[in-house]
Amino acid sequence: MKLRFGILAIAGFAALSVWAVRAQQPADGPRYQGASLVRPQNYREWIFLASGLGMTYEPSARAADAPQNFTNVFVNPSAHKAFLQSGKWPDGTVLLLEIRRAATEGSINKGGHFQTDLSGLEAHVKDSRYPDGWAFFNFGDSKGLKDASEPLNAEQAKRCVECHTREAAVDRTFVQFYPTLIDVAKRMGTYREK
């Protein structure tokens, strides 16, 4: 009888432990197949943070010749909710950068810019499984959009890591470009002026 009770207690504890670990991971957080991040199919239903037009890290002389693209940033809802409460991104944050081509004339539009075809999809993920807590992923473009992506290796990610470490307003993210989060971060004392 004691042995049976002990086995039941161990099985119950193991089930409770698995449940507790799963409860800590957000349902909308990163999903993996081995080392590869699975592309979230519903990211356009996530929280929209901002859109930019023609933003570049290149000097203005070189940027003038570059095509104008829109960049749309989405974040998983659970990470957004945590940020609103703390001004910090929790483990399990997934930021998606959707890059779309821009057009100026189409249908009834005769001026200004509107978004067209997808030209790239990238992710920036905060996950304690990575040595420095963050990783970058590239899912490609509409011609070869991948269902899953391995993290960029150290050499591929070097410029991203350096820039995000040096220029980010909050925790390696460019909150300075997310107008709905700037006041939150400032109020919580997590905003770094640039």
Residue 14, pLDDT score? 43
Contacts of 138 by beta carbon, 8 Å cutoff, 6+ apart = 120, 121, 122, 123, 149, 152
Residue 26, pLDDT score? 72
Residue 112, pLDDT score? 83
Say how far apart CA 110 and CA 54 lie, in whole Å.
19
Return averaged pLDDT per consecutive 10 residues of the chain, 194 residues in all.
51 45 70 97 96 83 69 98 98 97 81 86 97 95 92 93 94 96 98 90
Phi then psi dihedrals of residue 167, to 5 deg: -105, -15
The domains located in the chain, with CATH, are: 28-188 (3.50.70.20)
Say how far apart CA 130 and CA 137 lie, in whole Å.
13
SS3 129: coil
Say how far apart CA 124 and CA 40 lie, in whole Å.
12
Say how far apart CA 184 and CA 22 lie, in whole Å.
28
Contacts of 29 by beta carbon, 8 Å cutoff, 6+ apart = 76, 78, 79, 92, 93, 94
SS3 177: helix
Say how far apart CA 173 and CA 64 lie, in whole Å.
25
